[in-house]
């Protein structure tokens, strides 16, 4: 089946894509660029990097801007998926939904209206298992929004130590270790299907009131 991927450049969309590629043909990426940092539907930290990520993956990218207003942003999502269907003849959409019924149900409804399959490879996946599968990727934490996940986490790669710490916080204060409650956001710098990897050349941290982001100011593609 020819598929488009709802692509944020974060861990969930990349892992979902990796799984979908095993049985289907992924022909394009679809990214919504939200001006609302608290969008209900779309990832925001370092979303500007999707162009470079698409280049690294060697797939065309459809980008549509959205103000990120709850429910209204679905109009822009529908427009983007329509573009992908018309331009690349896709038959389905891949999402990185894990626990959010809000996201999954709304994307599924749009797909149904457009005659497309909605594929959710990560749906209801154990979150620690999900994190462990990401160890073959290069995923950094680009946003923190929870108690006990502080400034020192920003820019760190998800590895055994980070997973251990997230699991401990899950046990202590019931966070969602894969960030399903909005506790963390991520940016993928390399994945098994990337043809090149991303090297960060310049960055800064913006941290205030127990929340923060790791802002990639300059990056380049390099050989793997």
Q: Are residues 195 and 92 in the same domain?
A: no
pLDDT digits (tens, 9 = 90+) for 199-209: 999 999 999 98
Residue 40: per-residue pLDDT: 55
* The pLDDT value given to residue 43: 64
- What domain count does the chain have? 2
Looking at the fold, whether 114 and 83 belong to one and the same domain comes out as: yes
- 7 and 114 both lie in a single domain: yes
Residue 148 and residue 97 share a domain: no
The residue range of the domain holding 186 is 127-222
Are 100 and 131 within one domain? no
Q: Do 70 and 171 sit in the same domain of this protein?
A: no
Question: What average pLDDT is seen over the chain?
Answer: 94
Global pTM value = 0.94
Say yes or no: 158 and 185 in one domain: yes
Task: Tell whether 115 and 43 lie within a shared domain.
Answer: yes
Could you count the other beta carbons within 10 Å of the beta carbon of residue 25?
A: 11
Task: Name the domain boundary from 95, 119, 143.
Answer: 119
pLDDT, position 163: 98
On whether both 43 and 100 belong to a single domain, the answer is yes
Do 108 and 9 fall into the same domain? yes
Q: How confident is the model at residue 62 (pLDDT cuts 50, 70, 90)?
A: very high
32-56 pLDDT, tens per residue? Answer: 998 776 665 666 678 899 999 999 9
Domain match, 32 and 67 both: yes
Mean pLDDT for 131-145 is 97
CATH number where 51 lies = 3.40.50.620
Instruction: Read off the CATH number of the domain in which 192 is found.
Output: 3.90.1490.10
Lowest average pLDDT, out of 27-31, 45-49, 65-69, 184-188, goes to: 65-69
- Three-state SS string over the chain comes to CEEEEECCCCHHHHHHHHHHCCCCEEEEEEEEEECCCCCCCCCCCCHHHHHHHHHHHCCCEEEEEECCCCCCHHHHHHHHHHHHHHHHCCCEEECCCCCCHHHHHHHHHHHHHCCCEEECCCCCCCHHHHHHHHHHCEEEEEEECECCECHHHCCCECCHHHHHHHHHHHHHHCCCCCCCCCCEEEEEEECCCCCCEEEEEEEEEEEECCEEEEEEEEEEEECC
Residue where a domain terminates, one of 119, 140, 173: 119
Do both 102 and 142 map to the same domain?
no
- Domain end among 71, 95, 119: 119
């Amino acid at each position: 089946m020819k598929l488009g991927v709802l692509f944020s450049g974060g861990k969930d969309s990349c892992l979902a894509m990796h799984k979908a590629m095993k049985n289907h043909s992924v022909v394009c990426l679809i990214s919504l660029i939200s001006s609302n940092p608290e969008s209900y539907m779309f990832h925001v930290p370092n979303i500007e990097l999707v162009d470079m990520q698409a280049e690294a993956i060697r797939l065309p990218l459809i980008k549509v801007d959205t103000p990120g207003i709850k429910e209204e942003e679905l109009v822009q999502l529908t427009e983007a998926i329509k573009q992908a269907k018309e331009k690349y003849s896709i038959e389905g959409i891949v999402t990185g939904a894990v626990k959010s019924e809000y996201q999954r149900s709304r994307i599924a409804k749009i797909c149904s209206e457009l005659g497309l399959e909605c594929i959710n490879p990560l749906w209801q996946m154990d979150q620690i298992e999900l994190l462990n599968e990401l160890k073959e990727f290069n995923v950094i934490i680009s946003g923190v929004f929870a108690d006990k996940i502080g400034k020192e986490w920003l820019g760190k790669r998800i590895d055994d130590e980070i997973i251990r710490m997230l699991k401990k916080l899950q046990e202590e204060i019931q966070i969602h270790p894969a960030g399903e409650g909005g506790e963390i956001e991520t940016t993928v710098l390399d994945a098994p299907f990337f043809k090149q990897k991303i090297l960060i050349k310049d960055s800064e941290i913006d941290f205030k009131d127990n929340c923060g982001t790791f802002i990639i100011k300059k990056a380049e593609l390099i050989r793997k």
